[in-house]
Structure 1
Amino acid sequence: MVRHKVRIVFQVLFCLHLLVTAAMVIFITVYGLNSDSRNPNFHPWKWYPQLLAATVSAGITAFMWQRNTYDRSPDAFKEPFWLSPILTSLMALMLMYIGTALSVSLAVLSFASALAQLIYGVWVAPRFEYATDIFWTATALPPDGTRELLAPQSIAIGVLYCCFLVLGIGGATALDENKTKSAIFFILVIMLSMFWTMQFLKNVIQLTVSSVKYIEMVRSVTMDINAARCIAIRGFSGRIAMGSILVPVMTLFRSFALLMGFTRISTVLAKCGNRWGFLCVGVYNSGFVQASSFTWEMFTRDGMVPLIESDLIEPFCFLSGLGVGAVCSMVSGFLSLVLHQSYAVEVSIYAFFIGYFMCRLALGWQEASVAAYYVAYMVRPSSRSIRRALEQIQRSQAGSSSTSTSTSILRSQVGSSSISAPILRSDDQGSSSTSAPLLKKESEPTN
């Protein structure tokens, strides 16, 4: 009952946040651009074009980036690890050229980020072979309709939504200089709304594709992805909204805990919210925290945690987002240098975040496919790459005396899967007692 109320609260909060944001954007745009209240130093026709152009370029670049991986380019998986540092360095040079104190500070930060990305790419280079194999295997056969339905339509929705928010940011920027604090508040609220909404859109794709892909791999049952997406939005919106906040927050704090060596704390944080939980929400119709905890316990029980943490799909998506964000930042920055140089820094910052979120939205189906591939292995351990990697981990941890894999354990505990329905129609107001079990009763999370 408590979980049921929590998911309803998040569903209501997300809907209210959309309504409040829309009303605020309309109000602040009209009020800020009014001739009586507008800052005389603000020029809309010199501020809006570069940021709107960057937003459109974000959609185009994100689609091209996603299309490159969809067409299975041989080096597509490795490209972000060397291309993102280059694009970030070019963005830093542009910021350095602008010459203001803020732009120089951001340029130094960008150069440091590019160096860190480059070092990280060299550090994870030995894992490229395994990660690339898993990536191409998991995304080899995307569910029917993924390319036509999820990628172009979701990107189009993201572009329109970001363009709408850009109007509000411009209206807040146009406020009189005496209302600087109000302008900062409005811009901060709009950016937070962008973060939550873009995360929500990405996680709708995450839940839809991972659930459909999991069903196809485990049972060889094909689902209509359009219907699955409608079910995800209508039935699991509260849980998706909750996960859209919990996953980034838990991931951030968990990274700090791992750096500090707090292993137990990192485990607790992973159970509270992880990206694997979206699959179990769609499959089991369970609460998000419950699904995250159940999935992580499965990985822990069978020794999969070191393996999934060494996978590079999350760094691939993150670095891709940084690269697209850098491209959009340069588009808006160079246009600002031509139209009105004093706007270059602020519009470059906004364009960077827009490009990052648009790219993460475009690559959501690849991340979902890899998640489904790992979870499906827990039911049907048929991947040679995962089995070999598990054997290597077990040999390194237990020595040469322990060479057995977790395959026999998985088969003895799980056995054959039992599917009564792929994804059950449900809503956050209804009961989840009719969830569709994909594993045996002893492995199913308790609602």
Structure 2
Amino acid sequence: MGPALIEYAHLDGARRKEEGKRPDGGGPTEMGEEEVVVVAVDSSPLTKARVSKLQVSHPVSSLQVAPQGLPAQARSMAPSFQPTPNLVPLSLSISLFLAMTPTSGASLNSRRYTNRISLFLFLLHLLAAGAAISFFIFKAVMGIVEAEGPHRRRERHVLSFWLPPVEGAAVLSILLAFAWQKAVRAYPTLLTVRLIVWSSAAATLAAGILLLCFSMPTTDGAGLVLIIFSVGVGLYACWVTRRMPFAARVLARSLQPAEAKFRTLNRPSYAMMLAGAVWITLWCFAVIGALNFYYPPLTILALILSLMWTAEVMRNVANLTMSRAVALYYLRGMQSDVSYCFQRAATVNLGGACLGSLFVPAIEFCRIIARALNLLEGEDEFLFSCAHCCLHVMEAVFRYGNSWAYVHIAAYGSGFVEASQSTWGLFERSRMEALVDADITSAICFLTGVASGSLCVIFAASWTYSGHRHYTATVSLLAFFVGYLMTRIGMALPQACVGCYYVCYAENPTSRFFLNDSTIADRLDQIRNGREATGFTPRLPRRYTPSV
């Protein structure tokens, strides 16, 4: 290093002495001492060149991080220029960005298994169900190949007249699931939404009338239930007519990432439908063997409950797979591998799917019943109070268990209850409760399953009645059940996309993916200004009673 020249300079000594302040702008100097700044200057040519370059360069302002809660006046007091620029590392800036997000404490690659108790119970149930189905299939085969006896005749009879219509209904339900999913993905328009709602009502009505035409006590009861349900669907379609255009717009917006970025996003639902068809086939053989077991009604009821839970878990595994891919795209701009998302959904996040599959359908069903009872406002104050109490209880329970939780289960690996609370908390923070509460896209997916189930009833009941009418009611019930479950698995894609669309908007409304999309913002403005009905539970006016 070359010789250095040490210069002593008085920096505004007289002026600062009069003001009684330090040269660095701090507090007053002690005993009126003059402050002297010592500057070391390297006189080597290389250092001079560096100094000359630094002198001509423009000063760079330091990074200023101000919380959003501070007022504008406090933020304006921050210095706009610092003589010595501070360079912030890239890793620190990324960590600051992640810390400012609402879910800063969550990890996108959490390896912690969610809801381990429910996962253990489901795996134990699956093991027991597999063993029982294998045992009943063995009994069915042994009964069929038996040389002579009543069991052989009965099981062959069931195999000939009961199994083929159910398997045909399973194949038809897969085709209908493909058709519904393709219609929603290719044509997410108002016409498609109206077609789904009204076709569900029409198909249910047709299936009910067909069962009534068979003129048997068992089919008459099932047909009457379907007709009543079709009337309810028709009334619901009239009630939500004003919400259908917004539902079509949400479907179109939410399905854009799936169509543009994830062309293979529908494969998990196809895989789950194939697995469901295989499981239903084995289940049907097991029912044949269970007919000759102890307490056949209770045994078959246990098999039905097992099938319901297993099929619902399959649907939610597909839902979690698609939710992770779409949610990471909205939140971080990442294009995740669909196969890796499926692997996480089937392993790490399987416990959340198992717990949600148990409670979400029951909670939503009870919530619908509570809302229906809440319509009965009349002279009976006791009934009115009970309905209000049930509604408030279900609204409180809904906070701890709802279908929006699957987005945070898939994205952050949260538990089911924790994810339900966090997603609903996001909706409350963004004041979106009325919007998501009035959403009908989940009802649209439900009605596609009802329509497919009704068409499967028409197909299977006609086939069974022409061969052996004694099994018509049983086959019709099972065909509806199979058609509904398979279609709901296929419709997991649009439901997952809509869920991610709402939750990710509530988490970060200023994301670049929502800058040019005013769908939710406009709807919220309409709701807050009272220009749009949000579908709250309507009230029947009290009967007029003249005062005495």
| Unaligned segments of structure 1, at least 5 residues | 398-447
One-letter amino acid of the counterpart of residue 366, structure 2: F
Shift of 1:366: 0.5
Say if 2:465 and 2:472, in contact at 8 Å, map to a contact too.
yes
**Counterpart in 2 of 1:154?**
272
- CA distance in 2 between partners of 1:37 and 1:301 (Å): 67
Separation in 2, partners of 1:146, 1:273: 30
Deviations 1:288-342 (A, max 9, x none): 1011011112212322111011111111011110000011111111111222111
Whole-angstrom distance in 2 between the partners of 1:96 and 1:172: 29
Return the match for 1:240 from 338, 348, 353. Answer: 353
Whether the 8 Å contact between 1:333 and 1:347 is mirrored in structure 2 is yes
Matching residue of 1:380: 509
Distance apart, 1:268 and its partner CA? 1.8
Residue 170 of structure 2, aligned match among 45, 55, 61:
55
Query: Is 2:341 the partner of 1:223?
Result: no
Q: % of aligned pairs identical? A: 24
How far is 1:73 from its partner?
A: 5.8
For residue 39 of structure 1, report the CA deviation from its aligned partner: 7.3
2:411 to 283, 289, 307: 283
Matches within 5 A, 1:245-256: 245-256=358-369
CA contact (8 A) 1:281 1:287 kept: yes
Greater RCO (CA < 8 Å, at least 6 residues apart):
1
Whether the aligned pair in 1 keeps the contact of 2:209 and 2:223 (CA below 8 Å) is yes
- Aligned residue number for residue 97 of structure 2: none
Pick closer, same or farther for the CA change 1:139–1:90 going to 2, 3 Å: same
Give the match for residue 393 of structure 1. Answer: 527
2:132 pairs with 1:132: no
2:198 corresponds in structure 1 to 82
* 1:201 partnered with 2:314: yes
Aligned to 2:135, which of 24, 27, 43?
Answer: 27
Partners of 1:58 and 1:256 in 2: CA distance: 28
Kept in 1, the 8 Å contact 2:113–2:348? The answer is no
Question: 1:254–1:269: 8 Å Cα contact kept in structure 2?
Answer: no
Q: Tell me if 1:107 matches 2:223.
A: yes
Q: Which residue of 2 aligns with 1:423?
A: none
Corresponding position of 2:44: none
2:126 aligned with 1:18: yes
Question: Can you list the C-alpha shifts for 1:380-399, whole angstroms capped at 9, x where unaligned?
Answer: 253412111111221239xx
Structure 2: distance between partners of 1:41 and 1:222? 55
Query: Equivalents in 1 of 2:137, 2:164: separation in Å?
Result: 15
Q: Distance in 2 between matches of 1:5 and 1:284?
A: 11
AA in 1 matched with 2:289: G
The 8 Å contact of residues 31 and 37 in structure 1, kept in 2 or not, is answered as: no
Structure 1 segments of 4+ aligned residues over 3 angstroms from their partners: 39-42, 145-148, 256-259
Q: 8 Å contact 1:63–1:151 — kept in the other structure?
A: no
> In the alignment, is the contact (CA less than 8 A) between 1:250 and 1:272 conserved in 2?
no
Is the 2:290–2:299 contact (alpha carbons within 8 Å) kept by the matching residues of 1? yes
1:79-133 deviation line (CA, Å, top 9, x unaligned): 1110011111111122112221111111111111111101111110011111110
Cα distance, 1:200–1:89 mapped onto 2, change above 3 Å: same
Q: CA deviation at 1:30?
A: 2.8
Give the alignment's TM-score, normalised by structure 2: 0.68
Shift of 1:40: 4.3
**How far apart in 1 are the matches of 2:263 and 2:251?**
19
8 Å Cα contact 1:32-1:38 kept in structure 2: no
Residue 208 of structure 2: which of 83, 92, 98 is its match? 92
In 2: Cα distance, 1:111 partner to 1:139 partner: 34
Is the CA contact 1:218–1:380 (under 8 Å) kept in the aligned structure 2? no
Shift of 1:197: 1.0
- Equivalents in 1 of 2:334, 2:302: separation in Å? 43
Distance 1:292 1:255, change over 3 A: same
* Structure 1 residues 371-423: Cα deviation after superposition (integer angstroms, max 9, x where no partner): 000011111253412111111221239xxxxxxxxxxxxxxxxxxxxxxxxxx
1:72 to 158, 165, 187: 187
1:147-187 CA-partner distances (Å, limit 9, x unpaired): 552232222111111111111123224x28xx5xx111121
Letter in 1 for 2:495: E
Name the amino acid aligned to 1:93.
I
Sort the Cα spacing of 1:314 and 1:6 in 2 relative to 1 into closer, same or farther, 3 A.
closer
The alignment partner of 1:359 has SS state of: helix
Q: Secondary structure at the match of 1:223?
A: coil
When residues 306 and 203 of structure 1 are mapped into structure 2, their CA distance, relative to the original with a 3 A threshold, is same
Change in Cα spacing, 1:345 to 1:257, as seen in structure 2 (3 Å) is closer
Q: Deviations over 1:179-212 (max 9, x none)?
A: 5xx1111211111111111111111122221221
TM-score (norm 1): 0.82
AA in 2 matched with 1:340: H
Q: Secondary structure at the match of 2:403?
A: coil
Quote the RMSD (CA, aligned, Å): 2.0
Structure 2: 5+ residue runs without aligned partners? 1-111, 375-386, 532-548
CA distance in 2, matches of 1:226, 1:196: 24
Residues paired across the two proteins, number:
389
Structure 1 SS opposite 2:414: coil
- For 1:211 and 1:147, the matched residues in 2 are separated by 11
Does the C-alpha gap of structure 1 residues 146 and 6 become closer, same or farther in structure 2, counting only changes over 3 Å? closer
SS at match of 1:326: helix
Describe the SS at the equivalent of 2:347. Answer: helix
Q: What is the deviation of 1:146?
A: 3.5
Other-structure match for 2:46: none
CA displacement at 1:242 relative to structure 2? 0.8
Could you tell me which amino acid in structure 2 is paired with residue 69 of structure 1?
A: V
Local SS of the residue matching 1:396: coil
Query: Is residue 188 of structure 1 aligned with residue 301 of structure 2?
Result: yes
The alignment partner of 1:252 has SS state of helix
Q: Tell me the residue number matched to 1:444.
A: none
